């Protein structure tokens, strides 16, 4: 059932083109409009929403953080992302015009379920983005958008993460369409770009040998840092979490802009630092800023492992290692840039002789608060 792979995690990493493809399937009607039939929530309510709060835990919360950039950009609705266990206990300001989006692979995470109930008690409507049919969170939510990643067995979440981002993007596009804002005419283009992602994810997977080789060489590292900006920031957090949970290596993700506000003091000779570089065709000066962050850490002795777009030569002088991902619109890059980080953690944990599917102290679904 592992499909010839040594672990479920490795199989599930390889399932990702399919997970994204299945999640996109059947979402367009004959007129080319996005349809989310399962989303049985009153359209007038979705039109009147004035705030979105995404609640989730762990990897699912990072999917929410990625989606926030897209939802705010496309819908112009203020969007917050909060860890479910923090949301629940801070007396959050939530009412009938708040749309709460609960993201959960298992649909059974107690922290997220309690936050869902709390939001509903305050009058908010809850949309669940979930991978497990008929589980508790989608049953209690007002509406459900299923990710169709297929069952995820490994404790560390991989394909569910990519499917969660995909589903949250569909929700964002649907809201943009419904509310008739300026992005509604671009929905077809963005969807076509999303539909091109499975093949691009496959290209990243096809190049996994280079990542695996480095992972094996780095198996005795004591600490690894990850930097990103914009959507690359939650990708950095996810890369660090994967390494902590299955390889038991101290790892931390930072917003690259935060470096000079403290974390740069950690950098000394030989410190490995992953950097997720945004597309050079992206907006603003984001790309240049990240390239200068690579320079800064490299100048202080870091070993830089850079994830950059195919053809982006600006990183070559400062990177000890470069992993290439196909060109994609800035907001879609997390679906590619995350994959080498998953492969890296999985291979490194395997090289240390750990059971990558069943890391110590962890359970697949956390059904206690």
| DSSP string for residues in 260-273 | GGTGGGG--TT-EE
CA atoms within 13 A on the CB side of 112: 35
- Choose between 112 and 271: whose C-beta lies nearer to ligand F6R: 112
Cβ atoms within 10 A of the Cβ of 244, count?
A: 16
CB of 21 to ligand F6R, least distance (A): 20
- CA 299/CA 318 separation, integer angstroms: 9
Q: Which among 331, 299, 334 has a CA at the least distance from the CA of 318? A: 299
CB atoms within 10 A of CB 233: 24
Nearer to ligand F6R, 314 or 365 (CB): 365
**CA-wise closest residue to 49 among 115, 127, 137:** 127
* Burial class, 36, CB count within 10 angstroms (exposed 0-12 / middle 13-18 / buried 19+): buried
CB 109 → ligand F6R: shortest distance, Å?
A: 3
Least distance to ligand F6R from the beta carbon of 170, Å? 18
Closest to ligand F6R by CB, 60 or 168: 60
SS3 178: helix
11 is catalytic: no
Q: Rounded to the nearest whole angstrom, what is the least distance from the CB of residue 4 to ligand F6R in the complex? A: 23
How many angstroms from the chain centroid is the CA of residue 41?
A: 25
Nearer to ligand F6R, 246 or 308 (CB): 246
| Residue nearest ligand F6R (C-beta atom) | 58
Select 112 or 166, whichever has its Cβ closest to ligand F6R. Answer: 112
Which residues, in sequence order, are CB contacts of 175 under 8 Å at separation 6+?
46, 49, 71, 74, 75, 77
DSSP conformational letter for 324: E
Footprint of ligand F6R (CB under 6 A)? 57-60, 104-106, 109, 112, 156-157, 241, 245, 365-366
**CB of 160: closest distance to ligand F6R in angstroms?**
6
Please give the torsion angle defined by the CA atoms of residues 329, 335, 338 and 340, in that order, rounded to the nearest 10 degrees.
-90
Query: Taking the complex as a whole, how short is the minimal distance between the CB of residue 156 and ligand F6R, in angstroms?
Result: 4
Phi, psi of 15 (to 5 degrees): -75, -5
> Under DSSP, is residue 57 helix (H, G, I), strand (E, B) or coil?
coil
CB nearer ligand F6R, residue 49 or residue 60:
60
Active-site positions read 364
């Amino acid at each position: 059932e592992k499909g010839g792979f040594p672990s479920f995690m490795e199989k599930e990493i390889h399932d990702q083109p399919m997970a994204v493809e299945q999640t996109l399937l059947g979402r367009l009607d004959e007129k080319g409009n996005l349809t989310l039939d399962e989303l049985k929530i009153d359209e007038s309510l979705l039109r009147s929403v004035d705030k979105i709060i995404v609640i989730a835990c762990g990897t699912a919360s990072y999917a929410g953080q990625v989606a926030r950039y897209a939802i705010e950009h496309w819908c112009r609705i203020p969007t917050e992302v909060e860890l479910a266990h923090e949301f629940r206990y801070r007396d959050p300001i939530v009412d009938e015009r708040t749309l709460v989006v609960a993201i959960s692979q298992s649909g059974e995470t107690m922290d997220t379920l309690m936050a869902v109930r709390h939001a509903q008690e305050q009058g908010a409507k809850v949309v669940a983005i979930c991978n497990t049919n008929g589980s508790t969170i989608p049953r209690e939510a007002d509406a459900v958008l299923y990710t169709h990643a297929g069952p995820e067995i490994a404790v560390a979440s991989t394909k569910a993460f990519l499917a969660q981002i995909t589903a949250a993007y569909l929700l964002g596009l649907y809201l943009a369409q419904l509310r008739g804002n300026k992005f509604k005419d671009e929905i077809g283009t963005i969807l076509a770009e999303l539909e091109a992602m499975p093949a691009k994810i496959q290209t990243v997977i096809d190049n996994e040998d280079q990542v695996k080789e480095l992972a094996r060489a780095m198996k005795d590292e004591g600490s690894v840092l990850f930097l990103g900006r914009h959507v690359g920031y939650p990708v950095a957090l996810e890369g660090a979490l994967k390494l902590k949970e299955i390889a038991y290596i101290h790892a931390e993700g930072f917003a690259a802009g935060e470096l000079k506000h403290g974390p740069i003091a950690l950098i000394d000779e030989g410190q490995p630092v992953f950097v997720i570089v945004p597309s050079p065709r992206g907006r603003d000066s984001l790309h240049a800023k990240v390239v200068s962050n690579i320079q800064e850490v490299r100048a202080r002795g870091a070993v830089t492992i850079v994830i950059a777009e195919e053809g982006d030569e600006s990183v070559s002088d400062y990177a000890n290692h470069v992993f290439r991902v196909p060109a994609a619109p800035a907001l879609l890059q997390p679906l590619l840039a995350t994959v080498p980080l998953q492969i890296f953690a999985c291979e490194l944990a395997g090289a240390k002789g750990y059971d990558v599917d069943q890391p110590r102290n962890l359970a697949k679904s956390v059904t206690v608060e």
